[in-house]
Structure 1
Amino acid sequence: MPNPILQASNITRSFGSGKNAVHALRGINLTITESSLIILKGKSGSGKTTFMNILGGLDQPTDGTVTFLEQDISQFNHQEVDNFRKKHVGFIFQAFALLPMMTAIENVEFSLRIAGVPQEEWEKRIKESLEWVGLSKRAKHRPYELSGGEQQRVAIARAIAKRPSLILADEPTAELDSKRTFQIIRLFRSLVDEQKMTIIFTTHDPNVLHMADTIYELEDGQLIKSKLSS
């Protein structure tokens, strides 16, 4: 059996207090094994993004713990969680979060720089990552010269270039057409199978569910069902 890479135990997250409190997550328990492709689905407002942010150390739970490789990251201080993210986690955001005056190459290079990847590995990793997402011919373009789908693929290349143990992707194919969507999900599948990464991504697209190892669903801040993909 694969080893657990990530465990969420009794995770709650509330915003505000008293009668005005909004309970985004309500006692979630979840174990993710290493080298797996996980889909987290649910309607808008179900708590998916909040949960992903907590798993990646971008937010702290109101209660509960997140254990990554046997370390309780929910108890890390700011510097510790920052170092953890740089080394172990790749993020793909809906809003891309690219640096606007940098080319695609420079955006990917910047992620390697802050992750502390040795400089002699940069050129190979940048080239390989941009090839994987089909952007070799657009590598010298800046974000404003790229379509929304191309910007999203740069964001994906940036996340995978440092070879993180865990990738958290919030609607990574939302801006892509069906052809590019399947290319990216197949890439995710190969990264899991060949590079032994663990990838958790949110999606509304029912056509990609069969690509996952496991599917979880959030509704009103609760994990209401899980099933193996067929």
Structure 2
Amino acid sequence: MPLYKSISVNSQTTVKIWKIDESYDDLIAPLDLKPQSLERVLGMKSELHQRGFLSVRHLLHEFGYTDQDLYYDDNGKPHLKDGKYISITHSFTFSGVIVSDNEVGIDIEKQRDKISIIAHKFVDYEFNYLNKNAEDYIRNLTVIWGVKESLYKLFATPGMLFREHFLVIPFMLQDGETVAWIDYKGKKYRYNTGFLEFEGFTCAYVIP
């Protein structure tokens, strides 16, 4: 399938989402991969991960980039050679890329009941406004996880903890946006966040 969704967040920032329903062969055929990218994809044990990796390269093409324009730093954070900021995600049958003139982060997560089992590991302040008995509890938790994962990708700083250093301001699912903070080593950073739901998945992204 071609591009699933494109979101113009602001004049400097765009999100693009791909629904991965092509085969591995169909995805890899048109791509010109760097040797290290080809080695990486061939070394993946799961075809789902391979297809996720390759679909991200198709999303790069949607932005006018190729695999050659992308590189990773020592923390595993992706960068573009032209200096624009990028963040990448894939989960099961969806992948997403955000490109901006500013630091950004993105995450896609499948909405699954088991997130409630690990909620205590990434939720602290947010328990003040979450209702565990509400029918949208899993969806709300997935938004919080996605926002915090996006913050972590943006900062790419070892030692940051979702529960202790990130907090998500109360939100309504229908609003599709909220504010998040990082409180780390005596400094506070504020971020605007957006989120959307589709086909049992949640995509969240953060921008300064």
TM-score, structure 1 as length reference: 0.30
**Structure showing greater relative contact order (alpha-carbon pairs closer than 8 Å, 6 or more residues apart):** 1
TM-score, structure 2 as length reference: 0.32
Q: Counting strand residues as a fraction of each chain, which structure ranks higher?
A: 2
